[in-house]
Amino acid sequence: MKNTSRFVPALYILFLLLPIYWLVNMSFKTTNEILGSFTLWPQEFTFENYITIFTDPTWYMGYVNSLAYVSINTALSVAVALPAAYAFSRYRFLGDKHLFFWLLTNRMAPPAVFALPFFQLYSAVGLFDTYWAVALAHTLFNIPLAVWILEGFMSGVPKELDETAYVDGYSFPRFFIKIFIPTIAAGIGVAAFFCFMFSWVELLLAKTLTAVDAKPIAATMTRTASTSGYELGLLAAAGTLTIIPGAFVIYFVRNYIARGFALGRV
Amino acid sequence: MTLELINVSKRVGVEQHIYPTDLKLEPGGINILLGTTLSGKTTLMQMMAGLDPLTTGSLQFNGQDVTKTPVQKRNVSMVYQQFINYPNFNVFENIASPLRVAGVAEDEIKRRVGEMAELMKLSPMLNRRPTELSGGQQQRTAMARALVKDADLVLLDEPLANLDFKLREELRDELPRLFADRNCVVVYATTEPVEALLFGGHTATLHEGCVTQFGPTGEVYRNPKDLISAEVFSEPPINHANVIKAGQTITLENGVSWTAEGIATGLADGAYILGLRPHHVMPQQSGKQPVEVSGEVLVTELSGSESVIHFTVGDRTWVSQSHGIHPVEVGAHETLHADVSEAFYFDGSGNRITG
């Protein structure tokens, strides 16, 4: 009995980790080894793939570009969502519930639907192939999500806290910045995490709205062949590096996400 | 220093939350808002504080109209039933926050917060976060913050309701002392008639958004203006029954009758509603004019020093509350003694007839 209770989760974790292991495994192999034979671990262990990525601007600029528009997008989405979520959680106004639901419907369409209008629009106004193009396009999906998450956290704060602050003499902006934002810091962390993750993994819009200057890493990575033929080892190394920021962010917000789930909002 | 409410009312959509109300609240003694949950105590307090705009009427403080003055400029403080503190500040900063906003000098803040913490027995936990404190300490912190700034108007919205019994008793004893030497208007909302009686001062009874009576607490308790005020200010609930007076004989709806004495002699013949507080219905004969009422015992609550017996009188349930333990069987037919000399008489629309 005790053995099965360990065996089953162990098997599951193994199953989950297998593709990641295989990716990391490949990233330390040469392309020849990957294509030539089936090996459980690198026979000719090499850092060559990583060295290429960190020295070749066409590779490492992909990371810089991705991080740039992801950061802009996350900051923008959370900054815009904060006052919106506050309004939804604290005030009753005509059509508030419908509007709140309608926000979410934006997320129901696949990003592909918006690729063409964004492409045409950004080309016309000269935003095409900039960080802002992708960052703004992603806010379409991230602001509603951030509003939804933040509203949950804000509604968990009794409105008496606001009133106590006013009674104590706080003006609204001072209360919001000095008391309210620190109080819902966990929620802001969770919202920022989801914005980051969406923007980080979203490929289609990022690829369509950029060409050279703002090309994201995912776009660089998905060109499977180059002039030197297949570079599977290089792609695997790039993939491994792409996982790291996500893992890093998840590590910091892991405790708060549980709270977000408890509020039924994530 | 007085707070005056003139024709104040609150309406949200089609719902009337507070009916037009006139109140004049004075410092010295606690002003109590007594009413059940949803009777409008909190709404009324928020309107007094300026957190909730008035639909009609005006608020005057010391003869000055403050109806439109924003809450930040009013020098009020408020304590809620939930323990509301700033979770990101430690206890010291929580208490100091109104002073910081007001721009009080640093050493002055230290001194006043120190004094207040001493008074509220919070000195050892000044560096802790509110969430690390017990419920009683959290509420003391909230109270310390309300008191530290010398507000002109202190609003306490059931501050003891969420505390356990021991702490509630303790803070209940401390409260009147805290305000004894302050020149401010104190308003205290509660659902418990006992608290109102303990604090004295003035009491306003609230029922469904209506202030039914306002006056010195003892006066309101002894001389309820109408049936509703008597009901609000009675725990366990006041007993009532229909009575008919003919000549000098008063007959209860279950057929029991007695000869009118005292106040009842002045009543004209006709139908009335009789109200009698539970502690005037006793298992043994006592009081000036005991009348036997009997019925089936439904529930008995025997606490250490008190017996509460619920029994039927005709179609109604009456409650008897008496000192000492009076064991009676549930389901038994018991005879109790109602001291009708203490009864209130109300007319058909609930107004009290004082003869």
Q: Determine the residue of chain B that is closest to A159 in CA distance.
A: B84
Same domain, A25 and A64: no
CATH class of B3-225: alpha beta
pLDDT greater than 90 at residue A251? no
Task: Give which of A92, A162, A164, A259 to mutate to test B binding, by max B Cβ within 10 Å.
Answer: A164
The pLDDT mean for chain A works out to 87
CATH topology for B239-346 is OB fold (Dihydrolipoamide Acetyltransferase, E2P) (2.40.50)
CB contact under 8 A, A174 and B84: no
pLDDT of residue B3: 93
Name the packing angle between helices A48-55 and A57-90 (round to 10°): 70
CB contact under 8 A, B98 and A169: yes
Same domain, A81 and A26: no
CB contact under 8 A, A161 and B86: yes
| Gap between the Cα atoms of B315 and B279, Å rounded | 21
CB contact under 8 A, A167 and B46: no
Same domain, A136 and A256: yes
User: pLDDT of B332-343, one tens digit each?
Assistant: 898 999 999 889
Q: CA-based Rg of chain A, rounded to a whole angstrom?
A: 23
State ipTM: 0.86
pLDDT of residue B29: 85
* Percent of chain A scoring above 90 in pLDDT: 39
Same domain, A73 and A183: yes
| Gap between the Cα atoms of B232 and B213, Å rounded | 10
Q: How confident is the model at residue A82 (pLDDT cuts 50, 70, 90)?
A: very high
* Percent of chain A scoring above 70 in pLDDT: 94
CB contact under 8 A, A168 and B98: yes
Same domain, A14 and A75: no
pLDDT greater than 70 at residue B90? yes
pLDDT of residue B5: 94
Contact partners, residue A148, CB within 8 Å, separation at least 6: A85, A100, A103, A104, A265
Same domain, A30 and A68: no
Size of interface A-B (CB pairs under 8 A): 54
Residue A154: CATH number of its domain: 1.10.3720.10
* Full domain range(s) for residue A92: 56-262
Q: What are the DSSP calls for B97-158, one per residue? A: HHHHHHT--HHHHHHHHHHHHHHTT-GGGTTS-GGGS-HHHHHHHHHHHHHHT--SEEEEES
User: pLDDT of A145-185, one tens digit each?
Assistant: 899 889 989 998 999 999 999 999 999 999 999 999 999 98
Does residue B34 sit in helix, strand or coil? strand
A77: Cα separation from own chain's centroid:
12
Same domain, A34 and A157: no
The contact set of A with B (CB < 8 A) is 158, 160-161, 163-171, 174, 179, 182-183, 185
CB contact under 8 A, A174 and B101: yes
pLDDT greater than 90 at residue A252? no
Q: How confident is the model at residue A113 (pLDDT cuts 50, 70, 90)?
A: confident
- List, in sequence order, every residue forming a beta bridge with B187; answer none if it has no partner: B31, B155
pLDDT of residue A245: 87
Asked whether residue A51 is assigned to any structural domain, the reply reads no
pLDDT greater than 80 at residue A226? no
* Percent of chain B scoring above 70 in pLDDT: 100
- Enumerate long-range contacts of B323-332, CB under 8 Å, 24 or more apart: B326/B283, B326/B284, B326/B302, B327/B300, B327/B302, B328/B283, B328/B297, B328/B300, B329/B297, B330/B297, B330/B298, B330/B299, B330/B300, B331/B296, B331/B297, B332/B296, B332/B297
Contacts of residue B51 in chain A, CB cutoff 8 Å? 163, 166-167
Rounded to 5 degrees, φ, ψ at A178 are -85, -30
CB contact under 8 A, B84 and A158: yes
CB contact under 8 A, A163 and B51: yes
CB contact under 8 A, A164 and B101: no
Question: For A97-126, what is the mean pLDDT?
Answer: 86
Name the packing angle between helices A159-168 and B91-102 (round to 10°): 50
Nearest CB neighbour to A160, from listed B71, B84, B87? B84
pLDDT greater than 60 at residue B327? yes
CB contact under 8 A, B77 and A160: no
Tell me the shortest Cα–Cα distance from A85 to chain B, in angstroms. 20
Number of domains in chain A: 2
Task: Give which of B84, B131, B154 to mutate to test A binding, by max A Cβ within 10 Å.
Answer: B84
Nearest CB neighbour to B80, from listed A160, A179, A183? A160
Same domain, A94 and A41: no
User: pLDDT of B178-203, one tens digit each?
Assistant: 888 888 999 999 999 999 999 989 99
- List, in sequence order, every residue forming a beta bridge with B21; answer none if it has no partner: B8
Q: Do domains B3-225 and B239-346 have the same CATH topology?
A: no
| Beta pairing class for B333-339 and B344-346 | unpaired
pLDDT of residue B265: 86
Question: For B89-110, what is the mean pLDDT?
Answer: 94
The pLDDT mean for chain B works out to 91
| Gap between the Cα atoms of B318 and B324, Å rounded | 19
pLDDT of residue B23: 93
**Mean pLDDT lowest among A40-44, B10-14, B118-122, B187-191:** A40-44
| Gap between the Cα atoms of B163 and B190, Å rounded | 13
Give the residue extent of every domain in chain B. 3-225, 239-346
Contact partners, residue A74, CB within 8 Å, separation at least 6: A142, A192, A195, A196, A199
Same domain, A21 and A65: no
pLDDT of residue A212: 82
pLDDT of residue A217: 84
Same domain, A87 and A10: no
User: pLDDT of B24-80, one tens digit each?
Assistant: 999 888 999 999 989 999 999 999 999 999 999 999 998 899 999 999 999 999 999
Same domain, A120 and A190: yes
CB contact under 8 A, A166 and B101: no
Contact partners, residue B68, CB within 8 Å, separation at least 6: none
pLDDT of residue B179: 86
Task: Give which of A91, A161, A167, A180 to mutate to test B binding, by max B Cβ within 10 Å.
Answer: A167
Same domain, A33 and A164: no
pLDDT greater than 80 at residue A260? no
Provide the 8-state DSSP code for B238: P
Question: For A36-43, what is the mean pLDDT?
Answer: 83
